[in-house]
Chain A
């Protein structure tokens, strides 16, 4: 017997997901039917589909009522993240559309691409749209359920799509190598996480996080959930690129096509943090007192290693990779201060949610700027390539400076508002040491965030004038990111309010 009412409510609860999945399938068809268009038709279809999904996600956010349907959770927190993730997907589409256009132009007019160069040797551009859509669907499933196996399948959907995206420059050896590294590391991380989930299932007899408060732990098997939690944390730390498990990040971020790097640094991290908060909240019911210490040690290591290693990089993408590691450290700091006498208090996550939103805007913006930096044979993302950019392409340089300043956390931008939120929670909850460490490392980070500015404005004129045109889609995403960075910085209250509403859903 089919319960029609049930199906209808399920349909409403996951409307953005169904739209995104459908659009992904349509994109596959479109790509097959009009292969000659170079992916333009697919980009338009994918963009529209995402925009519609965003509209419905926003309407769900406004409607307010919580719909929980079996394996699907649609509360305020989920909706907040759905909106954020779809935004990231949209910006990624814009960035990669321009990246392909630039690379196509370069390969058509320039010299024959070198063996290492990505120019003109990408996979079919339309596939990127489909993969993005499916990755976004995976991200949504990653946090829009309280059933750990559904979360895991979402994680895999997302990861599989991103592995392919990383290896998208098919003839570029660096891209392939990055894909392979990311694939092996990501698979091990998934396996660790899954092993933890299954052990937890063995210990408590439940896959559902919302049922954890009902389970009883027997003292003689109390070691099982501990092992399980350690394994799960290992998996999460891999995915979030926190320090003991960060060694793959710089290579993968450098080798991947620039827009994809932006997508990995934001989308994957946002989705994984969303699930992480959910899991931490549920773990309150298990005897896992050491988690808070583990998190704190991890925060300290991540902040130090991320910020110090970023100083010595000579590639902007590598620098941003370490910068994303240290930002993950600040985010984890925001979570680890939520522990009061061994229990995680999810109300601190409002600062983390706001930080995630701000971080996504500024990081995607920075990578959007780097997507334009394409030379004849390669992505021109060395620090030396920035020389004199302030004179040859003043607008681009100004916007890039804005994103760098925001990543550093200087007042009129969102970076400051976000960091202020995290540190004020840390001080309020008595974690003065962590807050001080965060501030010190922020000061250290000034060195590598201001270095691009020095290169662009104070290191003389560029050796040659590079092509000055910025494709329209990229202009759109740059303007959006820049406006968001400033708007969230000078008038953050509505968004902090949104984050607080979302954070109350974790319990």
Chain B
């Protein structure tokens, strides 16, 4: 039997994985993917919770969050492309000009 707790734990795990990915990985595309994982972890939690509460508003909100995540990914990719045009690299280790 799969209960709400399983979903809570799964989404927490996914969220942690996403955070780790953002912090540890040096390739910007992987960082963007990790950000996507964050959003999807949230969506999973949202759907599970609203199903558990027996309410519809969470289901609707999930679509908004998907849209927001898509827009965010679009902007992120655009920034990566401009960075790549200037520096010919998308490794975070390569472009610490400002330091810190």
Contacts and interface: CB of A to CB of B under 8 A. Distances in A.
Interface residues of B, number: 42
Given A201-B49, A205-B53, A188 B38 contact: yes
A208 to B, nearest CB: 10
B98 A156 contact: no
Most buried by A among B15, B38, B57, B82: B82
A163 B75 contact: yes
Contacts of B97: 173-174, 177
Contact of B82 (A176, A202, A255): A176
A209 interface: no
Contacts of B65: 194
A191 B79 contact: no
A482 B60 CA distance: 47
Given A160-B71, A164-B78, A188-B22, 12 more contacts: A152-B68, A167-B82, A173-B97, A174-B98, A177-B96, A177-B98, A191-B39, A191-B42, A194-B42, A201-B50, A205-B55, A250-B98
B100 A202 contact: no
Contacts of A174: 97-98
A149 interface: yes
A183 B34 CA distance: 13
Contacts of B31: 184
A259 B28 CA distance: 27
A184 B15 contact: no
Interface string A453-497: 000000000000000000000000000000000000000000000
B72 A187 contact: yes
Nearest to A172: B86
B46 A201 contact: yes
B83 A177 contact: yes
B98 A180 contact: no
23 contacts: A163-B79, A164-B78, A167-B79, A171-B86, A173-B95, A173-B97, A177-B95, A179-B79, A179-B82, A180-B80, A184-B22, A187-B76, A188-B19, A190-B72, A191-B38, A194-B65, A198-B42, A198-B46, A202-B8, A202-B45, A202-B52, A247-B100, A250-B98
A153 B58 contact: no
Contacts of B50: 201
A233 interface: no
Nearest to A173: B86
B38 A187 contact: yes
A177 B79 CA distance: 9
Interface string B1-45: 000000010000001001100100000100100010011011001
Contacts of B41: 195
A178 interface: yes
Contact of A156 (B61, B71, B78, B80): B71
A180 B86 contact: no
A251 interface: yes
A160 B75 contact: yes
Contacts of B76: 183, 187
| 9 tightest Cβ-Cβ pairs between the two chains A and B | A202-B49, A191-B38, A176-B83, A251-B98, A156-B68, A198-B46, A187-B35, A179-B79, A149-B61
A56 interface: no
Contacts of A170: 82
Interface string A90-124: 00000000000000000000000000000000000
Nearest to A170: B82
Contact of B64 (A149, A163, A177, A187): A149
A201 B58 contact: yes
Contacts of B87: 173
A180 B83 contact: yes
Given A174-B97, A205-B55, A251-B98, A153 B75 contact: no
A255 B72 contact: no
A184 B19 CA distance: 11
A254 interface: yes
Nearest to A202: B49
A180 B45 contact: no
B75 A195 contact: no
A188 to B, nearest CB: 6
A383 interface: no
B61 A207 contact: yes
Contact of B98 (A152, A163, A178, A191): A178
Most buried by B among A160, A180, A254: A180
B50 to A, nearest CB: 8
Contact of B49 (A167, A190, A198): A198
Most buried by A among B18, B22, B57, B98: B98
B100 A251 contact: yes
Nearest to B72: A187
Contacts of B71: 156, 160
Given A149-B61, A202-B45, A184 B35 contact: yes
Nearest to B100: A251
Nearest to A187: B35
Contacts of A199: 45
A188 B35 contact: yes
Contact of B18 (A164, A178, A180, A191): A191
A156 B15 contact: no
B22 to A, nearest CB: 6
Contact of A176 (B49, B68, B86): B86
Nearest to A178: B98
B78 to A, nearest CB: 8
Contacts of A173: 83, 86-87, 95, 97
